[in-house]
């Protein structure tokens, strides 16, 4: 397919309004295969303005007289307005943007063309393989092994090639357990908590169905988990659905672990919102935050009606419960809902942040996102196809990953010295998950990424982010290694609306930027002083 | 002390009100100035001190099998629940406290017995610290009749304040009309003045029937009249009451909390006050017009609004000392009725209203929006609020300057400002940027209506629930870093001096380099910051199956506990220090490498366990 077929008009004169704070920009507007460009006239001082078409979430056009207006609502929640000369030009540009921004083909997407200076293809893709995580686990315990039963993705299409499983369970048993779990997602290790000798596992629901089927290998697997943990360890299965929903799932072939079949394991139900209701919650919140007519009288109830903060509370509490079970109760925890690709990952990744000081470092957090979200098979392409502005009826969209980022932000607010990364990294991950020049968040699973040759044909976001010039934006200058678990408060008084994300484009950025600069200055002043030598030492007499 | 029926009750239990965990057993003492609870636990013997003047309400609840519960609510938002074994003792304590918490004479207040061991001269100097005549000079005013915010020197626009005119339906006063003319003429930059009535229009109209009301635009030439609806003291008192009920809810859901907060109307009122301040600041700075502000009496809403406007307009008021001046000027000297509003002496409960609390919150809301604009930090605001009610210093006594002079306050009590100034290191905002363009002139709030900027101030209203606050303080950390930098610089300087000397005496063999390793000693503070890590709360809700024993919460009780030493230093917030201590304790017994926690040890230490049950089924 040629992009040129979709581009109806090459260029037009336009003025761009970028919201409060930014001055309007005039110049020549241009649509290319992947970008919208605005090139200010030769007399202008500002540079070329560039927008990745993939990041357009919805487009609205209006024409009046001999000009038109296009409103672009972007996936990063920005709202842009283009005033364009000429009715025809407006309509043509609008149609081109519409067509190009909704292309579904992965291999013609921009990451396959993006070749930034200073980065080499293939860099950083080797940063976080399952082997890397296994090395750490193997240093701590001998009870687990790296299995390549999924080498060709045939056992579980949404798992990576290698997963960590109990040493006592062989690959055949794994394959049989996989057949008993939705989408083949048999229980695998998510995190080994060395101090308590317990583990965090994740899977999908067992396919018990109305006949209450059982699977000996699956039961054996969970038995082996307890046997490999600290002596006398119990297990808890945290089901992210209500007891009723789990029971109903039997009608459609799913279900949950029968108590009698898994001795030593106890089930807990923590219902979490998912799918369409979660997406709608996101849409409502963005709408509320953009409503400048909203009066203070009704703002809090409107915020309540969005339910978003309730979901944040829910997610954090469930993660805390899982972490607490391990650290305080010395129990092993298995987390699953239905598919095991959404709220399950939310819980396991947050629990690790709470417990594991390493995951709170810059590289540790990137590894966590790579391992617990990308390689764990969170279907990014489906979930992040549209953001909060799309008029299209949501199909598979859900802001689960954004909810994760929000929870991490809440953790950072309550423990401002304990995360090595700052809000900047969370904002960047949000943006890139929805539209990115990098290949990291492409596709829905490792299998798909493999088929599309994402690793060899696109650049990794991690190599982009880890360039020295990005560090000041992404790092938390206040970071001090905290070797302890960080237990957040999940009381409503302690949770806040994440203004840095939801009001990012509507409030003036200067005050918080000034504060950030000052924090950096205080910290670097200290570093400079520490590094300085007595100045007269140049003439220090030599012995 | 004739009012103390029983000075000591043993075997009293102090209940942690959010938590369901075992209460602390101890002894309750009543003194002339304080209620003191001392825990029996031999290793800690923790003390909780409450000033009588902080007590807002005392509630005796129905006797149960375990004893007679007594609930003490404080004006600084602390809440104490005691269980006294004998009903009779409880009654005695209750009756005593009812009297002690409501003194009838100023002389009974704590400031007349509080002695920080300063001599006469020091005390006098303390009172001299904030000098209003200096302040009017600073504003360039020879005339101390008007309050004026003179940031706009070119225009000579001013903010003036008064009470409502006694206009009724038709009354006029020529002199008053001329007065307003004079204000207008004093500002050649504008041909009109704004008259801002901070009441809702309906209230102002109702006042007409009582022979009061507002200026008739037909009678006053060149005025622009503006109503800004700030509700009256009774509405504000009820609103705070409702908000505090929300704060007291046991494990509220997000919906309970947000609905409760909205229904209290509190943030709406805060916004109304801010809006009025913003309107005036804009009139002065953008239209160069003078503004006359009044409400009914001119000492509540007017004080709130004028001081918010002053903060927005004049960076001086955003400094530590400038803020003290602002309170001295707009509140103390202009006759804000501290005694009536904050109930220092027993009086009409309908006169009580959190007027200055609202102003203090407005300042906090601004600090959240402009993190670099204020020289002082949140703790400064919290401590001022605390002392407005504590009556430990004489500043906020009485209803007017006149009363204070008659009582000879300055000769008989100490000044809070001197105390705060002495400890100013604790109150500094490390992010303050005096040089920055945003902080130099007028604070400009976004023009679009921005409801989101009004947040619930948990640092104030849930001040004593440490578990709800961020567990690490950016302010304290940055101040420590700054201090360390300074120490390093000083050391470096000393080293340079030494080196120079060494060179002079030609001591060639001296090894100077070894000294360079010294700075690392100071990095000690960073580990203590780590120790503020905490212990989990009960995330399991009423799912009893999960937790066989209650998870421990650690020793985050500190702010409740006023030890005698701390009291002497009159520090109303001991959280910073004692939190860290308890954190260290935590670190030693619960470091991850320590493996499992020992349940018995937990239950001993465990003060705030189940502090909140997060998840109701």
The predicted structure's pLDDT at residue A184? 96
| pLDDT at residue B401 is higher than 90 | no
Of residues B440 and A316, the one with the higher pLDDT is A316
For residue B22, give Cα distances in angstroms to A417, B66, B552, B606: 32, 12, 12, 9
**What is the rounded distance in angstroms from the CA atom of residue B206 to the CA atom of residue A64?**
50
Residue with tokens 């997610």: A315
**What is the rounded distance in angstroms from the CA atom of residue A211 to the CA atom of residue A258?**
12
Percent of chain A with pLDDT over 90: 71
What mean pLDDT do residues A456-477 have? 91
Of residues B606 and A177, the one with the higher pLDDT is A177
Neighbours of A183 (CB within 10 A): 20
The predicted structure's pLDDT at residue B94? 93
| pLDDT at residue B584 is higher than 70 | no
| pLDDT at residue A41 is higher than 90 | no
> Tell me: the pLDDT tens digits for B292-316?
888 777 788 888 999 999 999 999 9
| pLDDT at residue B190 is higher than 60 | yes
Enumerate residues 410 to 469 of chain B having a beta carbon within 8 A of any beta carbon in chain A. 430-431, 433, 436, 438, 446, 448-456, 458, 462, 465, 467-469
Listed residue (A351, A275, A340) closest to A318, CA to CA? A351
The secondary structure of B256-311, three-state, reads HHHHHHHHHCHHHHHHHHHHHHHHHHHHHHCCCCEEEEECCCCCCHHHHHHHHHHH
The predicted structure's pLDDT at residue B450? 64
Asked whether A354 and A180 are in contact (CB, 8 A), the reply is no
Residue B498's pLDDT band, with cuts at 50, 70 and 90, is: confident
Report chain B's mean pLDDT, rounded to a whole number: 77
Contact residues on chain A for B534, CB-CB shorter than 8 A = 486-487
B435 burial level (CB within 10 Å; 0-12, 13-18, 19+) = exposed
Annotated ligand binding at B197? The verdict is no
List CB contacts of B281: < 8 A, sequence separation 6 or more. B308, B309, B312, B313, B442, B443
**What is the rounded distance in angstroms from the CA atom of residue B29 to the CA atom of residue B15?**
16
The predicted structure's pLDDT at residue A535? 62
The predicted structure's pLDDT at residue A117? 86
Distance (Å) from the alpha carbon of A498 to chain B's nearest alpha carbon: 10
**Does the CA dihedral B432-B438-B440-B444 come out positive or negative?**
negative
| pLDDT at residue B27 is higher than 50 | yes
Q: How big is the CA angle at B308 (ends B304 and B314), to the nearest 5 degrees?
A: 140
The predicted structure's pLDDT at residue B580? 31
The predicted structure's pLDDT at residue A362? 95
- Strand order of the β-sheet with A49-52 is A49-52, A35-40, A25-31, A11-17, A79-85, A67-74, A56-64
**What is the rounded distance in angstroms from the CA atom of residue B614 to the CA atom of residue A491?**
7
Smallest CA–CA distance from A196 into chain B, residue = B595
Enumerate residues 143 to 162 of chain B having a beta carbon within 8 A of any beta carbon in chain A. none
What mean pLDDT do residues A393-413 have? 94
| CB contact (8 A) between residue B254 and residue A485 | no
The catalytic position among B68, B74, B247, B295 is B295
| CB contact (8 A) between residue B452 and residue A507 | yes
pLDDT-wise least confident of A225-239, A342-356, B294-308, B388-402: B294-308
What mean pLDDT do residues A291-298 have? 81
Nearest to B458 among A307, A480, A494 (CB): A494
Residue A118's pLDDT band, with cuts at 50, 70 and 90, is: confident
Annotated ligand binding at B123? The verdict is no
Is residue B589 annotated as part of the catalytic site, yes or no?
no
> Tell me: the pLDDT tens digits for A25-40?
888 898 888 999 988 8
> Tell me: the pLDDT tens digits for A243-269?
999 999 999 999 999 999 999 999 999
Enumerate residues 7 to 36 of chain B having a beta carbon within 8 A of any beta carbon in chain A. none
Tokens representing B304? 């709130």
Q: Which of B200, B235, B254, B460 is best to mutate for the A interface (most A CBs within 10 A)? A: B254
| pLDDT at residue B174 is higher than 90 | no
| pLDDT at residue B140 is higher than 80 | no
The predicted structure's pLDDT at residue B66? 86
| pLDDT at residue A374 is higher than 60 | yes
| CB contact (8 A) between residue B255 and residue A310 | yes
Nearest to B546 among A236, A417, A480 (CB): A236
What mean pLDDT do residues A64-84 have? 93
Pairing outcome for strands B68-74 and B79-84: antiparallel
Q: Which of B77, B248, B258 is best to mutate for the A interface (most A CBs within 10 A)? A: B258
Annotated ligand binding at B299? The verdict is yes
Smallest CA–CA distance from A480 into chain B, residue = B526
Q: What pTM did the predictor assign?
A: 0.88
What mean pLDDT do residues B30-44 have? 88
Q: What is the ipTM metric for this complex? A: 0.92
Asked whether B243 and B270 are in contact (CB, 8 A), the reply is no
The predicted structure's pLDDT at residue B1? 59
Q: How big is the CA angle at B202 (ends B196 and B206), to the nearest 5 degrees?
A: 105
**What is the rounded distance in angstroms from the CA atom of residue B445 to the CA atom of residue B495?**
48
| pLDDT at residue A387 is higher than 80 | yes
**What is the rounded distance in angstroms from the CA atom of residue A400 to the CA atom of residue A273?**
9
**What is the rounded distance in angstroms from the CA atom of residue B540 to the CA atom of residue A324?**
9
| pLDDT at residue B399 is higher than 70 | yes
Listed residue (A241, A119, A249) closest to A182, CA to CA? A249
The predicted structure's pLDDT at residue B146? 44
What mean pLDDT do residues B48-56 have? 91
| CB contact (8 A) between residue A530 and residue B262 | no
**What is the rounded distance in angstroms from the CA atom of residue B611 to the CA atom of residue B613?**
7
Annotated ligand binding at B67? The verdict is no
**Does the CA dihedral A229-A234-A240-A246 come out positive or negative?**
positive
What mean pLDDT do residues A363-374 have? 95
A328 and chain B: CB distance < 8 Å anywhere? yes
What mean pLDDT do residues A497-523 have? 88
| CB contact (8 A) between residue A511 and residue B370 | yes
The predicted structure's pLDDT at residue B520? 39
Name the 3-class secondary structure at B225. Answer: strand
DSSP letter string, B117-137: S--HHHHHHHHHSS-HHHHHH
Q: How many C-alpha atoms does A94 have within 13 Å on its Cβ side?
A: 24
The predicted structure's pLDDT at residue B529? 40
The predicted structure's pLDDT at residue B144? 41
Q: Say how far residue A189 (Cα) sits from the centre of its chain.
A: 20
The predicted structure's pLDDT at residue B153? 42
Q: Give the single-character DSSP code of A389.
A: T
**What is the rounded distance in angstroms from the CA atom of residue B471 to the CA atom of residue B537?**
13
Tokens representing B397? 């006594």
| pLDDT at residue B143 is higher than 50 | no
List CB contacts of A500: < 8 A, sequence separation 6 or more. A409, A423, A427, A512
The predicted structure's pLDDT at residue A318? 97
Smallest CA–CA distance from B439 into chain A, residue = A511
The predicted structure's pLDDT at residue A397? 94
**What is the rounded distance in angstroms from the CA atom of residue A473 to the CA atom of residue A495?**
24
Asked whether B466 and B556 are in contact (CB, 8 A), the reply is yes
Of residues B561 and B511, the one with the higher pLDDT is B511
| pLDDT at residue B550 is higher than 80 | no
**What is the rounded distance in angstroms from the CA atom of residue A283 to the CA atom of residue B458?**
28
Report chain A's mean pLDDT, rounded to a whole number: 91
Percent of chain A with pLDDT over 70: 96
Enumerate residues 327 to 386 of chain B having a beta carbon within 8 A of any beta carbon in chain A. 369-373
Nearest to A541 among B485, B508, B529 (CB): B508
**What is the rounded distance in angstroms from the CA atom of residue B6 to the CA atom of residue B521?**
52
> Tell me: the pLDDT tens digits for A173-204?
999 999 999 999 999 999 999 999 999 999 99
């Amino acid at each position: 397919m040629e992009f040129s077929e979709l581009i109806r008009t090459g260029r037009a004169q336009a003025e761009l309004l970028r919201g409060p704070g930014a001055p309007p920009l005039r110049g020549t507007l241009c649509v290319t295969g992947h970008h919208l460009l605005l090139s200010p006239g030769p007399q202008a001082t500002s540079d070329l303005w560039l927008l990745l078409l993939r990041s357009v979430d919805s487009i609205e056009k209006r024409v009046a007289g001999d000009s038109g207006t296009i409103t672009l609502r972007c996936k990063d929640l920005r709202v842009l307005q283009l005033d364009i000369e000429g009715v025809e030009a407006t309509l043509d540009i609008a149609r081109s943007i519409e067509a190009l921004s909704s292309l579904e083909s992965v291999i013609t997407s921009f990451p396959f063309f993006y070749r930034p200076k200073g980065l080499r293809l293939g860099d950083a893709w080797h940063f976080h393989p399952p082997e890397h995580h296994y090395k750490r686990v193997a240093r701590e315990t001998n009870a687990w092994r790296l299995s390549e039963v999924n080498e060709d993705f045939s056992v579980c299409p949404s798992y990576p090639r290698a997963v960590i499983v109990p040493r006592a369970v062989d690959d055949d048993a794994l394959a049989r357990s996989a057949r008993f779990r939705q989408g083949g997602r048999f229980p695998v290790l998510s995190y080994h908590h060395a101090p308590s000798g317990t583990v965090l596992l994740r899977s999908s629901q067992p396919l018990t169905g109305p006949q209450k089927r059982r699977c000996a290998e699956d039961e054996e697997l969970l038995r082996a988990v307890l046997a490999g943990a600290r002596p006398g360890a119990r297990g808890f299965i945290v089901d992210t659905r209500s007891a009723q929903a789990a029971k109903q799932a039997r009608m459609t072939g799913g279900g949950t672990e029968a108590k009698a079949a898994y001795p030593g394991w106890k089930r807990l139900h923590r219902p979490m919102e998912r799918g369409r209701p979660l997406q709608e919650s996101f849409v409502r919140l963005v709408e509320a935050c953009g409503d400048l007519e909203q009066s203070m009288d009704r703002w809090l109830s409107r915020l309540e009606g969005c339910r978003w903060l309730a979901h944040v509370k829910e997610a954090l509490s469930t993660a805390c419960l899982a972490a607490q079970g391990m650290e305080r109760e010395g129990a092993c925890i298995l987390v699953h809902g239905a598919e095991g690709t959404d709220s399950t990952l939310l819980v396991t990744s947050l629990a690790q942040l709470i417990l594991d000081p390493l995951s709170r470092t810059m590289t540790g957090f990137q590894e966590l996102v790579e391992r617990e979200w990308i390689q764990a098979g969170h279907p990014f392409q489906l979930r992040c196809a549209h953001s909060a502005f799309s008029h299209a009826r949501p199909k598979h969209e859900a802001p689960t990953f954004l909810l994760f980022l929000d929870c991490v932000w809440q953790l950072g607010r309550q423990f401002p010295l304990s995360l090595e990364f700052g809000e900047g990294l969370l904002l960047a991950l949000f943006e890139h998950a929805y539209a990115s020049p990098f290949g990291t968040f492409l596709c829905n699973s490792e299998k798909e990424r493999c088929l599309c040759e994402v690793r060899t044909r696109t650049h990794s976001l991690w190599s982009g982010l880890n360039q020295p010039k990005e560090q000041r934006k992404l790092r938390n200058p206040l970071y001090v290694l905290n070797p302890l678990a960080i237990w957040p408060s999940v009381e409503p008084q302690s949770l806040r609306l994440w203004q840095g994300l939801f009001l990012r484009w509507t409030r003036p950025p200067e005050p918080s930027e000034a504060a950030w600069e000052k924090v950096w200055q205080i910290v670097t002043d200290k570093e400079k002083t520490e590094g300085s030598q007595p100045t007269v030492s140049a003439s220090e007499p030599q012995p | 002390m004739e009012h103390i029926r029983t000075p000591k009750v043993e075997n009293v239990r102090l209940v942690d009100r959010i938590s369901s965990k075992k209460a602390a057993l101890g002894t309750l003492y009543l003194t002339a100035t304080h209620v003191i609870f001392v825990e029996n636990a031999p290793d800690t013997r923790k003390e909780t001190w409450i000033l009588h003047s902080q007590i807002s309400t005392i509630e005796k609840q129905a006797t149960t099998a375990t004893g007679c519960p007594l609930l003490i609510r404080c004006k600084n938002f602390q809440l104490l629940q005691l269980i006294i074994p004998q009903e009779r003792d409880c009654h005695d304590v209750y009756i005593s406290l009812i009297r002690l918490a409501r003194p009838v004479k100023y002389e009974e207040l704590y400031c007349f017995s509080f002695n920080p061991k300063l001599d006469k001269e020091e005390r006098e100097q303390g009172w001299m610290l904030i000098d209003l005549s200096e302040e009017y000079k600073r504003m360039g005013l020879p005339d101390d009749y008007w309050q004026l915010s003179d940031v706009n020197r070119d225009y000579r626009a001013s903010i003036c304040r008064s009470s409502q005119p006694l206009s009724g339906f038709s009354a006029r006063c020529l002199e008053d009309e001329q007065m307003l003319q004079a204000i207008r003429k004093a500002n050649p930059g504008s041909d009109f003045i704004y008259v801002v009535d901070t009441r809702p229009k309906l209230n102002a109209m109702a006042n007409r029937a009582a022979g009061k009301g507002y200026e008739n635009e037909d009678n006053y030439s060149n005025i622009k009249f503006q109503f800004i609806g700030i509700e009256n003291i009774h509405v504000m008192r009820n609103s705070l009451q409702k908000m505090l009920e929300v704060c007291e809810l046991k494990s509220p859901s997000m919906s309970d909390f947000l609905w409760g907060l909205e229904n209290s109307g509190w943030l709406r009122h805060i916004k109304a006050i801010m809006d009025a301040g913003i309107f005036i600041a804009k009139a002065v700075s953008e239209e160069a017009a003078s503004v006359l502000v009044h409400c009914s009496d001119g000492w509540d809403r007017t004080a709130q609004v004028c001081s918010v406007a002053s903060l927005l307009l004049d960076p001086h008021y955003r400094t530590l000392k400038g803020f003290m001046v602002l309170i001295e000027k707009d509140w103390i000297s202009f006759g804000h009725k501290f005694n009536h509003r904050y109930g220092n002496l027993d009086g009409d409960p309908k006169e009580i209203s959190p007027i200055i609390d609202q102003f203090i919150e407005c300042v906090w809301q601004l600090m959240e929006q402009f993190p670099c604009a204020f020289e002082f930090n949140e703790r400064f605001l919290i401590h001022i609020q605390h002392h407005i009610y504590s009556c430990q210093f004489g500043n906020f006594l009485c209803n007017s300057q006149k009363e204070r002079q008659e009582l000879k306050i300055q000769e008989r009590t100490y000044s809070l400002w001197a105390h705060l100034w002495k400890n100013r290191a604790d109150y500094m905002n490390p992010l303050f940027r005096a040089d920055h363009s945003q902080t130099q002139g007028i604070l400009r709030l976004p023009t679009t209506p921005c409801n989101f900027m009004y947040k619930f101030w948990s640092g104030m209203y849930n001040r004593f629930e440490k578990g709800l606050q961020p567990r690490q303080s950016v302010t304290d950390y940055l101040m420590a870093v700054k201090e360390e930098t300074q120490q390093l610089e000083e050391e470096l300087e000393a080293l340079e001096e030494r080196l120079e000397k060494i060179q002079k005496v030609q001591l060639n063999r001296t090894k100077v380099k070894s000294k360079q390793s010294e700075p690392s000693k100071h990095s000690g503070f960073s580990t203590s910051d780590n120790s503020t890590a905490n212990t989990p709360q009960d995330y399991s809700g009423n799912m009893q199956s999960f937790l066989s024993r209650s998870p421990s919460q650690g020793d985050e009780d500190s702010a409740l506990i006023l030890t005698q030493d701390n009291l002497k230093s009159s520090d109303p917030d001991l959280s910073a220090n004692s939190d860290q201590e308890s954190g260290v304790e935590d670190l030693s017994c619960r470091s991850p490498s320590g493996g499992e926690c020992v349940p018995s040890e937990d239950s001993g230490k465990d003060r705030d366990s189940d502090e909140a049950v997060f998840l109701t089924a």
